[in-house]
Amino acid sequence: MKVVFASTPDQEEKIKELVKTFYQDVFPLYYSDKEIEKFEDLKVLHTSTRHFEYFGTLKEAYQVITSLQTLISILESTTLLVKHKSMFQRNVAILKEYGLFFPFDFEQFFEADLDKENDNGSFSVYTKAANELLI
C-alpha cells in the first residue's frame, strides 16, 4: 500500500499566482502586448481542473511550483546567460510533463533580451499597475 498526499487548494492558488506573474512581470520584459495576447489565445501556461488532476499529489504540485519559480528567476535576471540554458530546459520539460503548454526555447528569450536592450520607454497593459485608486 502506498500513501500519497493530495495537492492542497493553496498549492493550486500558488500555481495560478505564478502563471499570473509570468503574464504580468516576465512576458512584458521580452514580448509586445500583441504577442502576449497571442500567448493567452494559445493558452500558454493555462491551467484547468484537468491540469490539477495531473499534479494532484503534493510532490507533483511542488515540482510545478518550483519549475515556475525557477523559470521566473532565470527570466527576470538582469542578463540571461547561456549557463542557464540547461536549467531552463529541465524546468520546461517538467511543465510539459504535467500538461502545461510552454512552447518556448531558451534562445527565444535570449534573442528577445538582446533585441530589447533595456527598452524602458514601452508600457504594457499586462504589467501590474504601480498604484491603484479606490473609488
For 11-28, give the DSSP string.
HHHHHHHHHHHIIIIIHH
Partners of 74 in the β-ladder: none
Reported as a single tens digit per residue, the pLDDT across 64-75 is 999 999 999 999
* pLDDT-based confidence at residue 86 (cuts at 50, 70, 90): very high
Residue-level pLDDT at 78:
80
For residue 123, name the pLDDT band (cuts at 50, 70, 90): low
For residue 47, give the C-alpha cell.
491551467
The pLDDT mean for the chain works out to: 82
At 6, is the secondary structure helix, strand, or coil?
Answer: strand
Confidence class of residue 118 from pLDDT cuts 50, 70 and 90? very low
pLDDT at position 61: 86
- Who's near 47: CB < 8 A, 6+ residues apart? 12, 15, 16, 19, 100
**Do residues 24 and 39 make contact, with C-beta atoms less than 8 angstroms apart?**
no
Task: Flag whether pLDDT at 116 surpasses 90.
Answer: no
Q: Where are the alpha helices (DSSP H) in 57-122?
A: 58-76, 85-97, 106-116
Q: In one letter, which amino acid is 103?
A: P
Tell me the pLDDT band of 131, cut-offs 50, 70 and 90: low
Average of per-residue pLDDT across 33-47: 93
Report which of 82, 73, 127 is spatially closest to residue 105, judged by C-alpha positions: 82
